[in-house]
Amino acid sequence: MAVLESHRFRRLVLLGDIFADLNFRRLTGDHWKLLSHIRKLSNPRRRVEVVWVEGNHDHGLAQLMSHLVGVPVYERYVWEYAGKRHLAIHGHQFDRFVSRNLLLSRLGEQIFYGIQKLDADSKIFSRFLDRMNTRWLRLSDKVAEGALEYARAGNCDRVFCGHTHAALTLTRDGIEYHNSGSWVDARATFLTIDPEGVRTHTYAGGTHHCYPREEREPDTAPVADLFEPAAISTASAYQSLRC
Ligand SMILES: [Mn+2]
């Protein structure tokens, strides 16, 4: 809410996995306030275009969400800005495990939530597993590779993904890749696009689960905390369970 209220913008792109699952009982008052705020933004009089790009977690929620929050939901969203063609896509499409094993991935999530509950106070266990998982699988790189190829095929100049929870920007052969990172980890990041270009911002305000600054990963690191089903893959039966 603080970020949304402190910026003026004409378009808001939500890059997917806004919901972790279908269990709306888990939503708190703050969550509903945010949804209500987003719904208000989408009022035509505000002249803000709100776009919801679905992720692997909120996949299948499109119809429900477009009614509940009043914004259209897209698998991928393409727009023109500053003479460039922009593409927003969550990124799980380039994460082979999630795209091929949706059911197993969901099962993994449930187990991960269990671990998270047990681990609620320290998060040490979950964070350890998350980091291990990310390092093994180099998800950031895989998603970036896939997204850049996809953008090239679609003649896009800039491609935006989420999914990995790791903020990352790179350019290859004139195509820019930007990963927005995540809202729910130690380092909350988001992207802005203006005439100057694309920038990654770190939210500096207070968050509920803020880890000490010195533990945060630098901007360009391809490794960051994954918050989600990543944990499961340490059982090695699962190759790349994640958000
Ligand atoms: Mn995801």
pLDDT in tens, 73-118: 999 999 999 999 999 999 999 987 676 666 666 666 666 666 666 6
Rounded CA separation 229/84 (Å): 35
Ligand 1 center to residue 165 CA distance, Å? 8
CA dihedral 42, 48, 54, 58 (to 10 degrees): -40
Ligand 1 center to residue 57 CA distance, Å? 6
243 within some domain: no
Ligand 1 center to residue 197 CA distance, Å? 25
Ligand 1 center to residue 161 CA distance, Å? 9
Percent of the chain's residues with pLDDT above 90: 45
164 within some domain: yes
Ligand 1 center to residue 55 CA distance, Å? 5
Ligand 1 center to residue 134 CA distance, Å? 13
Domain region containing 107: 2-235
What are the tens digits of pLDDT across the range 180-202? 998 888 889 999 999 999 999 99
190 within some domain: yes
Identify any residues that bridge with 202 across adjacent strands, giving them in sequence order.
189
241 within some domain: no
Ligand 1 center to residue 121 CA distance, Å? 24
229 within some domain: yes
Ligand 1 center to residue 183 CA distance, Å? 12
159 within some domain: yes
Ligand 1 center to residue 45 CA distance, Å? 32
Ligand 1 center to residue 229 CA distance, Å? 10
CA dihedral 223, 88, 145, 242 (to 10 degrees): 50
CA dihedral 225, 226, 231, 236 (to 10 degrees): -100
Query: What is the total count of domains within the chain?
Result: 1
Ligand 1 center to residue 87 CA distance, Å? 17
Q: Is the pLDDT of residue 235 over 60?
A: no
DSSP 186-220: SS-EEEEEETTEEEEEE--S--TTPPPGGGSPPTT
Best mean pLDDT range from 17-26, 139-148, 204-213: 139-148
What are the tens digits of pLDDT across the range 209-219? 433 333 333 44
- Tell me the C-alpha to C-alpha distance, in Å, between residue 233 and each of 117, 171, 204, 227: 18, 30, 32, 13
Ligand 1 center to residue 138 CA distance, Å? 15
> Which pTM does this prediction carry?
0.73
Q: Is the pLDDT of residue 239 over 90?
A: no
Amino acid identity for residue 61 in this structure = L
Residue 117 pLDDT? 66
240 within some domain: no
Confidence of residue 59 (pLDDT cuts 50, 70, 90): confident
Ligand 1 center to residue 194 CA distance, Å? 26
Ligand 1 center to residue 163 CA distance, Å? 4
The CATH number of residue 216's host domain is 3.60.21.10
